[in-house]
Chains A and B, each alone.
Chain A
Amino acid sequence: MSTLRVAAALEAAATGRAAPVTTVRHVHLADRPLVLIPLSLAGEACAPLAAMVGTDRDAPVLLTVPNPKDRTDRFHFAARLAGHVLPYCETFATDTESYEYGRGKARELRERSTDAPQLIVPNRAGVGFLRLLGRSTRFRRTEGPYAVDPAVPRLGQWLSWFTDQNEFPTSSLCVGLTQMLTAHWATGQSPTEDAHLPALMGWIDPPPDTDGPTAARQAEDPSRFPPAGPTTDPVFDGMLTELYTAIGQASSERRRAAAIRQLEEQLRTQLLPTWRLMWRGLDLLEERSAGRSVASRWQTDRDRFTGFAAYVADGGLPQGRWEHASGAARRLARLEDAADRYASERAFDDPLVMAEYELTGEAVVGVVTVANPSRTVVSSSGRRLLRPSLTLTVPHSGRLRVGDEVRSPARTGQKAEVLAIRRTEEGPYEIDFELSGGMGRSQRPPPPPGTVPELGDEVCYTSLSVFTLPAALPDDASTPWTHGGPPQPHAPTDDDANEAWE
């Protein structure tokens, strides 16, 4: 945690209200996200209890399981959930755009969806539950004994894919709301407490007559603020047990239906507060304008979605139970790239995030006190090159050294080299930079207006590197299943589909 975030937490604790740690939004918000709140049956590996799902905040759909111990009931639930998730995903597959991929000879025209689905779950634990639900459904057989609806294994493939994307900080395809909120606000409580959506929202958006700590405290009363799942409140479970017994022992169809209605009523009351909180949370994020790189990260997401949708449409096999070694290695490399990309893009997009690097000395901010926009130098080959220079007066020189290559968030296409660092008599530092690139095609002075900083401008320079795409992406034949097919496609075995049905 950065000192900046610590300062924000102290501010939150002192003021009783969450403190923003970003000035822009670093996550893509879909126009039509699919909000999904899963509840699990306590004690079982992955037994769904209920879910609330939908793209319309005014029309949540409640799905329940009349007998959670019964596998037929569970997979029936999965089929109904699939009835919401699959058509939602399919709507994004039709509208496509073409784009050029690669350079030179390897250049080719590809298609990608103009938009992609976005799955919003309350928290990380919710994502984990969907991962297991994906695992438990993707190998189901659609014929023979214990056949399930064909939508069930498909749902499994999609859920496995969505939850896999959640591992990537750059991806907005499947996100836990508390993850997103804590990336944008610091509260006056601990990370443990922040994982509880009602408490977190209490700090960020307390009701008018109260403050963060009070709202967070009230949010701990499960009778007033049901947990956001997937784990349920034990007291609530106690009541459910009675209802399930009533359903199981109902003496007539009519009584059974009445008991099921009662169960649904209870579950609806349990889920609705979370449903409302989720949309409110999305509203709060929406209020921030998106950071500059958000769109390009979403473009990557759209690429990935296009690849996977095509794979599924072609009848692609379910993801294996275990990742083979080369796939795992590639995935690890991609995860590292994603973490680097996210960190640097966030800083370049957001001065408040960049301030973390100012504190560590990896960035300096100062005013241009000398500017020489028309400066030229003679290259070793004798050519005259436009190399403007400027001097920045900064309070600290940070960790910059002469010869370092730095960039400015305002002009990421322009390189700057540190020529000299001086300490002035009054205390601050003066740093001389030489600029190259980012001035259009003109090689003759003066550079086009606006392409280099001017006298009096406040400028930030950082040794943090602008993220460039990792050099060699594997070609199609060796890409992971997410884009088409692994080197050795996973061959499902009977063992995968074997599951006791007691």
Chain B
Amino acid sequence: MPPTSPQAPGSIRLDRLRGSMERQDYSARKITALTVNPGCERRAVLDAAGIDKSGLAARLGPTAPFGQSPFAITRQRAFEEQLKANGYAELITLLRAELEVPVAEAAVADLNTVGENAGWWPRAGETRRLLGAIAADHDARVILDHPVLTLNVAGTNAYLVPDAVSHRIGDHLYIVVIKSFAAVDGQADAGKVAEAAKQAAVYVLALRSVLSGIGVDPTLVAEKFLLVLPKDFANRPYGRLVDLRQQLDAVRHQLARLGRVEERAATLPPEATLDLSTDPRTGHPTVGTDELVHTVEALPHLYGPRCLDMCELSRYCRDAALRDGDPAHLGSVVRDSLPGLASTAAAYALARGELNPSAAQEEVAALLGDAVRLRTLRLAGGAA
């Protein structure tokens, strides 16, 4: 049963934006995606309002495919199951080896369900209770499997579920992240490790916030996390402690910025809504596409090619960037080399002398002008 989400006491404005649709919860991945493009208020507001971005994107036009291969899903599941088989034997072995834990045994609290209940609240409550017990007992040897942590993100409660939290080791608790990309000869894909680290940072912050909430010193949570990967080409687990200080700063910074999301939402007209529901009788959408576009457009965005890897709305935003000739669609390097120029067409016209530069544009216009002149000369065979 999927976890059901209680109505968080979020902002009324954001709730209205979502309309009658069910709220899409924050996940660690969603939060880290925000740090990829920290300047984009559009995504920030949509996430804070819990809007189904895929559904919205589908209404707006072509969607970006974000499917996961069934092969990858099967593999991830098999690897996790293997680690947790036989009372988490492999995970415990790994903890012992990597964190030099002297104790061979540890109990595991399975927090995937509480009783029969897989809802957020009971799981979050049980997680809190167990954390309290662990904090009180220096020798507690309980590993938490899929604990539910809560974190206040821009006024809404996010429920975050790390793969595991280690038992208490040398007065520290460690977030455990299990991924199925391999570490070959001790090296894994740097981009994927960085992504996992950002997610771990979100979990660390959440775990600390839970501990603070129950009056426990949050520094109990380590600034490193245990990343568990398959070793080489097989399924044997390989684990490494990865430092998180940098990622913690980045995520903390982003979370602080999100505080302004409500203010941004408040600038929308009070009747603005992105309700994606359909009329049960007619099957027609309750809100017309034009209106959706209107509201989305009222939220400032900041398109960049990295959006293509992480945001459901990327095709829509890219189309707009193309239409406006926003230099960002050519990538950050081109964008950064065109200071003060808002469109590629204008830049090209300036470069060809078809437009007079303003005082602020003179320098870049002259440089581009030289470049275009030289290109024309050298392509025409003006070799020297």
Please give the residue numbers on chain A whose beta carbons come within 8 Å of chain B beta carbons, in ascending order: 1, 3-4, 6-11, 13-14, 19-20, 23, 41-46, 68, 132, 135-136, 188-193, 213, 222, 232-235, 237-238, 240-241, 321-322, 351-352, 354-355, 358-359, 365, 408-410, 458-460, 499-500, 502
Interface string of B359-377 (1 = CB under 8 A from A): 0000000011011101101
Query: 9 interchain pairs (CB within 8 A)?
Result: A13-B345, A42-B72, A43-B74, A45-B184, A46-B182, A188-B344, A193-B305, A238-B69, A500-B236
Q: Which residues of A have CB within 8 Å of B230?
A: 45
Question: What's the nearest-Cβ distance from chain A to residue B57, in Å?
Answer: 14
Q: Which residues of A have CB within 8 Å of B72?
A: 42-43
A3/B367 in contact, CB under 8 A: yes
A132/B75 in contact, CB under 8 A: no
> Among the listed A9, A20, A234, which residue makes an inter-chain contact with B67, where contact means beta carbons less than 8 Å apart?
A234
Question: What's the nearest-Cβ distance from chain B to residue A265, in Å?
Answer: 19
> Among the listed A11, A42, A365, which residue makes an inter-chain contact with B375, where contact means beta carbons less than 8 Å apart?
A11
In the complex where A1-B333, A43-B74, A43-B75 touch, is A7 in contact with B372 (Cβ < 8 A)? yes
With the chains together, A257 CA to B381 CA distance in Å? 59
> Among the listed A10, A191, A240, A459, which residue makes an inter-chain contact with B305, where contact means beta carbons less than 8 Å apart?
A191
Chain B, 325-375, CB within 8 A of any chain A CB: 325, 329-331, 333-334, 337-338, 344-345, 347-348, 351, 367-368, 370-372, 374-375
Question: What's the nearest-Cβ distance from chain B to residue A65, in Å?
Answer: 12
B181/A45 in contact, CB under 8 A: yes
A365/B384 in contact, CB under 8 A: yes
- Whether, in the assembled complex, B297 has its beta carbon less than 8 Å from a beta carbon of chain A, the answer is no
In the complex where A45-B184, A46-B233 touch, is A10 in contact with B348 (Cβ < 8 A)? yes
With the chains together, A213 CA to B180 CA distance in Å? 36
- Whether, in the assembled complex, B104 has its beta carbon less than 8 Å from a beta carbon of chain A, the answer is no
- Whether, in the assembled complex, B1 has its beta carbon less than 8 Å from a beta carbon of chain A, the answer is no
With the chains together, A13 CA to B368 CA distance in Å? 15
A237/B235 in contact, CB under 8 A: no
Closest to A410 in B: B384
Q: Which residues of B have CB within 8 Å of A354?
A: 378, 384
Closest to A237 in B: B69
- Whether, in the assembled complex, B291 has its beta carbon less than 8 Å from a beta carbon of chain A, the answer is no
With the chains together, A10 CA to B68 CA distance in Å? 35
A4/B233 in contact, CB under 8 A: no
B379/A222 in contact, CB under 8 A: no
Please give the residue numbers on chain B whose beta carbons come within 8 Å of chain A beta carbons, in ascending order: 65, 67-76, 180-182, 184-185, 230, 232-236, 305-306, 308-309, 322, 325, 329-331, 333-334, 337-338, 344-345, 347-348, 351, 367-368, 370-372, 374-375, 377-379, 381-384
With the chains together, A499 CA to B232 CA distance in Å? 8
With the chains together, A19 CA to B330 CA distance in Å? 14
Question: What's the nearest-Cβ distance from chain B to residue A228, in Å?
Answer: 16
Question: What's the nearest-Cβ distance from chain A to residue B342, in Å?
Answer: 13
With the chains together, A238 CA to B74 CA distance in Å? 12
With the chains together, A68 CA to B70 CA distance in Å? 13
Question: What's the nearest-Cβ distance from chain B to residue A467, in Å?
Answer: 19
B330/A189 in contact, CB under 8 A: yes
> Among the listed A4, A41, A322, A365, which residue makes an inter-chain contact with B371, where contact means beta carbons less than 8 Å apart?
A4
Q: Which residues of A have CB within 8 Å of B68?
A: 42, 234
With the chains together, A237 CA to B67 CA distance in Å? 10
A192/B71 in contact, CB under 8 A: no
> Among the listed A3, A135, A189, A240, which residue makes an inter-chain contact with B368, where contact means beta carbons less than 8 Å apart?
A3
In the complex where A42-B72, A190-B329, A359-B374 touch, is A6 in contact with B184 (Cβ < 8 A)? no
Question: What's the nearest-Cβ distance from chain A to residue B145, in Å?
Answer: 22
Closest to A500 in B: B234
In the complex where A14-B345, A23-B378, A502-B234 touch, is A322 in contact with B185 (Cβ < 8 A)? yes
Q: Which residues of A have CB within 8 Å of B306?
A: 192
> Among the listed B73, B184, B378, B383, which residue makes an inter-chain contact with A132, where contact means beta carbons less than 8 Å apart?
B184
Closest to B182 in A: A45
B351/A10 in contact, CB under 8 A: yes
With the chains together, A322 CA to B76 CA distance in Å? 28
Q: Which residues of B have CB within 8 Å of A235?
A: 65, 67
With the chains together, A201 CA to B235 CA distance in Å? 38
- With a 10 A CB-CB cut-off, give which of B230, B233, B305 has the most chain A CB atoms: B233
With the chains together, A321 CA to B230 CA distance in Å? 17
Question: What's the nearest-Cβ distance from chain B to residue A132, in Å?
Answer: 6
- With a 10 A CB-CB cut-off, give which of A14, A135, A190, A322 has the most chain B CB atoms: A190
With the chains together, A351 CA to B382 CA distance in Å? 8
A192/B309 in contact, CB under 8 A: yes
B371/A3 in contact, CB under 8 A: yes
> Among the listed B232, B330, B371, B382, which residue makes an inter-chain contact with A190, where contact means beta carbons less than 8 Å apart?
B330
In the complex where A355-B375, A502-B235 touch, is A192 in contact with B185 (Cβ < 8 A)? no
A359/B351 in contact, CB under 8 A: no
In the complex where A192-B331, A234-B68, A499-B234 touch, is A10 in contact with B347 (Cβ < 8 A)? yes
B76/A43 in contact, CB under 8 A: yes
Q: Which residues of A have CB within 8 Å of B76?
A: 43
B69/A135 in contact, CB under 8 A: no
> Among the listed A13, A132, A136, A232, which residue makes an inter-chain contact with B325, where contact means beta carbons less than 8 Å apart?
A13
